[in-house]
Amino acid sequence: MQIKYFLASLVIVLYSFGLNAQTDISGIVTEKSGVPIIGANVFIVGSYDGTTTDVDGSFSFNTTEEGIQVLSVSYLGYQSKELKTEVNEMKNLKITLRESANSLDAVEITASTFKAGDNSKVAVLKPLDMVTTAGSMGDVIAAIQSLPGTQQNPDDGRLFVRGGDARETKIFIDGMRVFSPYTRTFSGTPSRGRYSPFLFKGVSFSTGGYDAEFGQALSGVLDMNTIDEPKQTESNISLMSAGLGLSHTKKWDRSSLSFSGSYIDLTPYYWLMPTRLDFNTPYKGFSGELVHRYKTNKGLVKTYIAGDISRVGVNSENLDTAIYQEVDIDNRNLYINSTYSTTLSDRHSAKIGMSHGYNKDHLEVDEFLLDTDFDGYHFKGAFKTIINDFVVLNYGAEYFWQEDRLSKGTNDTNFFSSNIDRHLPTAFSSIDYFFSKDLALKLGARYEFNSLLNSNEINPRLTLAYKVGQNAQVSAAAGVYNQELDSEFLEDPSVQRNEKSSHFLLNYNYKTDKSIFRLEGYYKSYSDLVSYQRGFNFEPTQIANEGEGRAYGVDVFYRANNVVKYVDFWVSYSYLNNQRKYLDYPEFAAPSFSTNHNLSLIGKKWFPKLNSQLGVTYSLASGRPYDDPHTSDFMTERSGWFKNLSMSWAYLISQQKILFVSVSNVPRFKNEFGYRYSTMPDVNGQYRSEQIRPNDDQFFFVGFFVTISQDKTKNQLDQL
């Protein structure tokens, strides 16, 4: 009995000592604004002692730990916090958690950038839109022109952005420069982008205020990203009214290979359809592309190769001589791009790459010959370091080497040749600082050196973004940009600087699961633009960097997907006021490629019972300016409004067979773009003129597309 009393007493004593060894931990957890955080995890590191905060953010628990310990407090969407102190001092604590910049609903530091990717529920422009837009005829550039900030120049086809000409918008593939992105053609017949949209997963299109990583672009940047990994092995066959195409993708465990080839010949088409061009040789071309991907343990290697050969020839009237000339163009183009992306650690990543572009144009005008050759290389290393949840550093360096070769002559004599090469080493850096998940700042700068001009340029960039609600944010950006002159002016000793532009913009963006709305105002100023006088034989003389300009306007964009069942549509509108005094302009005037108003309405409707998709695109643009030499005023004449209604129909014959029909300008609107004039008047003082019209009022396209895939369900409907 005494033993039982002894054991019971021992248990009571030990239990009492245990109670006496426990310490109360208490406090409250709030946001920076003082709002309590409910459900935050609070615990002693290395123990099982802890709890979660209640409805007023308070917490309380006991611990048997002693001495200096670490109290951890964490909650999703907030930066974790640790407090290291004596356990007996962990009473009535007031702990404030800061919102984490890595939360899913954090502000995006972007301004004036349209991104399209597989991760976006409602993207401004999804990857498949690059070819499903009626009237685009499968051309990436034509689809991009449905976005605000671009200008309708259907007789040209290249990308004109916010008052800048086409050379002021640079195109990249996987972040690497594309040196010759457009096919060669004649005035009045639009150029096309050289690259097939089927190999791309999305695009990033910036109409201003873009990051310090991108340079040598005064007005805009288009970056197209190739697919990282295909889903399966498949083949595609395309039989088209304009030619035929074949593509195949083979997928292995760690690598894949995709290739495509197409042959386009418009000769049969123009046997059936009228055109204003007097063809010697309707457009003929062969193009091929290849993408190889290889997954390493920590990264991805992608190699992209594209090449094409084309020829076209017409008889064209010379307005000065009133004589028709035979004009032929042969083009050879090659582009190679290789990148390696890798994760160096949990806070460091890198991407290195190179691209090479070669383009050769051979132009014959009767007996006159003109050969232009271009070689370009781009090497780049870009790095990202996550310093903490609120600070991200992006930095890197680039090196460009470019060479332009030109020769003029006749069939018997070469009477002029030139060779211009230059080196452009660059460095860039930007820092993203998140004050909270609602407010962020990006501050960057870009340095460039041009060996030919011996010029140094430092371009600062700034973007500020603030979330004004769960689905909305406002962004402001400012930056300085520069770009070298065309190669024909670079050798002149009077040229000492790059052309420059400054961007200022304010953006509002509202995005839900089914819709997106963007409103943006901007102002751009241009300086050091090339200027010259016309000398003998109208050749440029007195070349200098004395041109300037200004552009301002408003862009509006709205897109909704499945707000109405099976309907996807978007609307974009741009207002632009653009004035320049450059080239041989005697005064400030709107350039000939500039229009004040541009409107695009795009809709797609899926009909389940008909297994069909209808696409409709309506484009409207105000008149373009042109100069009538019979008047004393400069560039004050305007062409008529441009109108275009295009439609497409895709019919799913069976799961892997599609019939596709597309018609541009269905009502056959008689569009015109002003007049071109002879350089010299006749004996009566009159300038011979010619109205600028599209060479084709309407274009038909019919295609039959077959897919052969492992799952037997994949088809090309997403690409049509």
> Among 96, 122, 152, where does a domain finish?
96
The neighbour count for residue 98, using CB atoms within 10 Å, is 17
- 133-142, 575-584, 589-598: lowest mean pLDDT where? 133-142
**Helical (H) or strand (E) element with 338:** strand 323-343
The highest-confidence range among 5-9, 405-409, 626-630, by mean pLDDT, is 626-630
pLDDT of residue 430: 92
> Among 39, 67, 96, where does a domain finish?
96
* In-domain check, residue 645: yes
The span from the CA of 226 to the CA of 334, in Å, is 17
Same domain flag for 177 and 256: yes
* In-domain check, residue 333: yes
Same domain flag for 237 and 355: yes
CATH number at residue 358: 2.40.170.20
Same domain flag for 123 and 59: no
pLDDT of residue 128: 54
Same domain flag for 484 and 556: yes
- Which structural domain, as residue segments, surrounds residue 576? 113-719
Q: Nearest to residue 483, comparing CAs of 161, 67, 70?
A: 161
The span from the CA of 75 to the CA of 473, in Å, is 24
pLDDT of residue 18: 45
Q: How confident is the model at residue 718 (pLDDT cuts 50, 70, 90)?
A: low
| Residue 123 amino acid letter | A
The tens digit of pLDDT for each residue in 491-550 reads 777 777 899 999 999 999 888 878 889 999 999 999 999 999 887 777 888 888 899 999
> Among 96, 126, 155, where does a domain finish?
96
* In-domain check, residue 418: yes
pLDDT of residue 256: 93
* In-domain check, residue 105: no
* Contact partners, residue 626, CB within 8 Å, separation at least 6: 592, 635, 637, 638, 639, 673, 674, 675, 676, 692
The span from the CA of 368 to the CA of 163, in Å, is 34
pLDDT at 613 over 50: yes
Pairing state between β 299-318 and 348-365 = unpaired
Q: How confident is the model at residue 12 (pLDDT cuts 50, 70, 90)?
A: very low
Q: How many domains does the chain have?
A: 2
Same domain flag for 177 and 44: no
pLDDT of residue 33: 77
pLDDT of residue 188: 65
- 134-148, 248-262, 692-706: lowest mean pLDDT where? 134-148
* In-domain check, residue 700: yes
Same domain flag for 532 and 672: yes
Q: How confident is the model at residue 151 (pLDDT cuts 50, 70, 90)?
A: confident
pLDDT at 162 over 70: yes
Residue with tokens 């006991």: 62
The neighbour count for residue 548, using CB atoms within 10 Å, is 18
Same domain flag for 552 and 659: yes
Percent of the chain with pLDDT over 90: 39
Same domain flag for 314 and 386: yes
Pairing state between β 220-226 and 169-173 = parallel
The tens digit of pLDDT for each residue in 372-381 reads 999 999 999 9
pLDDT of residue 113: 55
Phi, psi dihedrals of residue 524, rounded to the nearest 5°? -130, 135
pLDDT of residue 425: 96
Same domain flag for 30 and 141: no
* In-domain check, residue 106: no
The span from the CA of 600 to the CA of 617, in Å, is 7
Same domain flag for 71 and 205: no
The span from the CA of 259 to the CA of 720, in Å, is 19
Which of 689-704 are b and which e, b meaning 16 or more Cβ less than 10 Å from the residue's Cβ? eeebebbbbbbebebe
pLDDT at 432 over 80: yes
CATH number at residue 77: 2.60.40.1120
Q: List % helix, strand, coil for the chain (3-state, nearest 5).
A: 10, 55, 35
* 194 dihedral zone (left: phi>0; alpha: psi -120 to 50; beta): alpha
pLDDT at 217 over 80: yes
Same domain flag for 613 and 702: yes
Same domain flag for 590 and 640: yes
Mean pLDDT score of the chain, rounded to an integer? 85
pLDDT of residue 119: 34
Considering only residues 449 and 696, tell me which one the structure prediction assigns the higher pLDDT: 449
Considering only residues 139 and 717, tell me which one the structure prediction assigns the higher pLDDT: 139
Q: Could you report how far apart the first and last alpha carbons of the chain are, in Å?
A: 94
pLDDT at 114 over 50: no
pLDDT of residue 130: 57
Query: DSSP states of 452-521 as a string?
Result: TTTEEEEEEEEEEEEE-SSSEEEEEEEEEEEEPPPHHHHTSTT--S-EEEEEEEEEEEEE-SSEEEEEEE
* In-domain check, residue 104: no
The tens digit of pLDDT for each residue in 263-309 reads 988 888 888 888 888 888 888 999 999 999 999 888 899 999 999 99
The span from the CA of 595 to the CA of 621, in Å, is 7
pLDDT at 661 over 60: yes
* In-domain check, residue 101: no
